[in-house]
Amino acid sequence: MSIGAAFARVAMAHRVAWLIALAGSPAVAAHPESHAAVVHAPAPARAPGYGDLGFEAPAPGTYGLPSLGYAADGLILDGAGQPRHLHDLMSGKVVLLSFIYTGCSDVNGCPLATWVLGRVQTPVSTNPILRERVRLLTLSFDPARDTPARMQDYATHFRQAEFDWQFLTTTGESRLLPILEAYDQRISPERDTGGGLTGNLSHLLRVYLIDEQRRIRNIYNANFLHPDILLNDLQTVIGSGN
């Protein structure tokens, strides 16, 4: 199954247990996935991930997360600017992988992904089952501006000391585009009314849950990207023995 087909499957039926719970909760407003912006400071909260979940979530392990396919590899640059394979960073870990660019200010885009991942750090680090097995990876799709140094500066605003959250980039489009293609990510430069480039990027918000066998177990968009959901899914994947 392709990543695109997998995402469509998740979008059509995200998980019966979650949808049953959501059906009994106050309505959650939908937000467009595509966005483009300029700076990374979050605006006033809009997407569900910024607030309380709003319904009683299914307990970890009471629902299934079947494989949606395998996570792709690719050559990236780590925080020190050293070339690494994405698969090496996934090895032996349950991973939450997000794609962002640091210049984004759409409140329901990249800032949402980084905000939500930031909020899982404390519960993961204080959980003896999760803390040694979970890794967060954030990969930029704007390598021209998001150098390793810039990614590390960005990380200082969100990453807790000693937490296993790596902020990554690539050497350029030749390395980046195959990765984006494999994860069914699309980006396009925005243009102004005169046809000139604005420097902003339009893209889809997606975050991937990947198990220790590098299988994609869930794909989140703005409507389902919430710390409580991520934490329950992490425990479900780890508790099921993968």
Domain of residue 205, CATH code: 3.40.30.10
Model's pTM, two decimal places? Answer: 0.80
Residue at 110 is within a domain: yes
Kindly report, residue by residue over 80-115, the tens digit of the pLDDT.
Answer: 999 999 999 999 999 999 999 999 878 899 999 999
Say if CB 106 and CB 144 are below 8 A apart.
no
What is the domain range of residue 154?
3-187+198-239
> Domain for residue 192, yes or no?
no
User: Could you tell me whether strands 207-210 and 94-100 are parallel, antiparallel, or unpaired per DSSP bridges?
Assistant: antiparallel
| Cα–Cα nearest to 100, from 28, 36, 53, 192 | 36
pLDDT tens profile 131-169: 999 999 999 999 999 999 999 999 999 999 999 999 999
Question: Quick one: pLDDT at residue 1?
Answer: 54
- Is 193 part of any domain? no
Q: What pLDDT does 174 receive?
A: 96
Whole-number Å distance between alpha carbons of 145 and 126:
35
Residue 35: band (very low, low, confident or very high) from pLDDT cuts 50, 70, 90: very low
In a domain, 167, yes or no: yes
Count: domains in the chain: 1
In a domain, 17, yes or no: yes
Strand order in the sheet with 94-100: 165-168, 134-140, 94-100, 207-210, 216-220
pLDDT at 70 over 60: yes
